[in-house]
Structures are given as C-alpha cells and as structure tokens.
Amino acid sequence: MESEEFPIGSAITLKDFYVDNLLTGASAVSMVIEIMWQVTVLFKRPGFPLRKFAANNVKIIDDIPLDDREEIITLGDSDYVKTLGLRWSPSKDVFFFSYDEPAVSRKPTKRSILSQIAALFDTLGLLNPFIAPGKILMQQLWELQLDWDESVP
C-alpha cells in the first residue's frame, strides 16, 4: 500500500523480514540509512515502531536512542547481538555459531543423532554443507527401520 511513497522500504520489508526480525544491508552507509528511515516510517504509521537496531557501522545508528538499540553482549574478546538464533558481531561483521558436543557415554541412537542435527539452528542456511550429511544419515537410518532408541549400526 505504501510502495509508491516508500519504494525501497517496501521492497526491503517484503524481502528481508524473517518473522519479526529485519536483516538487511547495502553497499553504502547512505543507502542503509535511507532503508532504515523508510522502513521505520513505514511501520510507525500503522503503530508498529521498530526497535533493537544494530549495525556494523556506528554512523548508521548514531541518531537512534540507546533504548532502541540492540543490547551488545560481550564475552571475552567477542561482542555480539543475538538474532534469529545466531550471534552476530557488529564490530567484526561476522556470524558465530555455537554447538555443544554430546556426552559420549553410549552408542548413538536415531533420537540422539536427530537431536544433534536439530541443535544446529541456522535460518540463513550458512551451515547447510555441514548439516546436509547428517540429514542424509537420518534418511539412511529411516530406511533401516530402526526404533528411536535402538543403537545405530
């Protein structure tokens, strides 16, 4: 409905929102500021003020009140914000993934293997080359018609 007045903001809204998180960017700071302005106004009009802003360049969020910025978590020498189940470092502009290895106390089962595959939450698909072999293994286990808690061969 607002695409004529906010062409960039409406296009970004349709393309880069995942549930209630907007992850977007551009090659120039000025373009990101324009995107941010258009999307913010676009959502504010019907009563949906945006908040929890984060950026890899301080110039982008200079005018955003501190209360509307995403909280940056510092752990050791890393700083990050949580978004879509991922950790993103605005200062380094990199994503972090965490994975807890299972306790090796018994033989793996179909249930424990699926649990480990599901623990790798990656909405952007960056880990697909690592997750796909596990999913293929699960297909093979289904073909063997094993019970959920039976040890896999």
Give the C-alpha separation, 66 to 64, whole Å: 6
Region 84-102 average pLDDT: 83
pLDDT tens per residue across span 61-87: 999 999 999 999 998 888 899 877 788
Domain boundaries, the chain: 1-50, 99-153
What would you report as the CA-atom Rg of the chain, rounded to the nearest whole angstrom? 21
Q: List strand residue ranges (DSSP E) for the chain, in order.
A: 17-18, 21-22, 73-75, 78-83, 86-89, 94-96
Give the pLDDT band (50/70/90) at residue 105: low
Host H or E run for residue 143: helix 128-143
What 3-state class would DSSP assign to 147?
A: coil
Whole-structure pTM value: 0.71
Region 38-43 average pLDDT: 94
Amino acid 123: pLDDT: 78
| Greater model confidence, 104 or 5 | 5
The mean predicted confidence, pLDDT, of the chain is 89
